[in-house]
Amino acid sequence: MHFGYNTFLVRLRGVKSLKEKRSIVKRLINDLRKNFNASVVETGVHDSKRELEITVGIITNSKSEMDSLFESIENRVTEWNALEVFNVFSEVW
């Protein structure tokens, strides 16, 4: 059994208020939870309307399955039009 997480530091494009940011965060978290059955939480930069930090945690039976899932999750996050990923931190046990 393998456990891992990815933390994404993201810039938000065109967001004018924290309310608008919260709407984007909520949709992103729900999308990742639904499509990847992952635990997702906003872990930092709560008071900035220009940046976002989210962490995605998963448990898999094999390291190769985890690597594949993390790659798919990263691709999904970078596909969002309002987001620009500028840093990803990963850890696996």
Residue partners of 18: CB distance under 8 A and separation at least 6:
47, 49
Alpha-carbon distances of 27 from 2, 14, 93, rounded to whole Å: 27, 16, 29
Q: What's the pLDDT at 43?
A: 93
pLDDT greater than 90 at residue 80 = no
Q: What is the pLDDT of residues 14-67, one digit of tens each?
A: 899 999 999 999 999 999 999 999 999 999 888 899 999 999 999 999 999 999
Q: What's the pLDDT at 44?
A: 87
Q: What's the pLDDT at 82?
A: 82
**Which residue bears the tokens 């999904």?**
76
Residue partners of 32: CB distance under 8 A and separation at least 6:
38, 40, 56, 73, 76, 77
Q: What's the pLDDT at 77?
A: 92
Q: Which domain holds residue 20?
A: 2-92
Q: What's the pLDDT at 8?
A: 96
CATH assignment at residue 13: 3.30.70.1120
Q: What's the pLDDT at 3?
A: 95
The pTM of this model reads 0.88
Number of domains making up the chain: 1
pLDDT greater than 90 at residue 81 = no
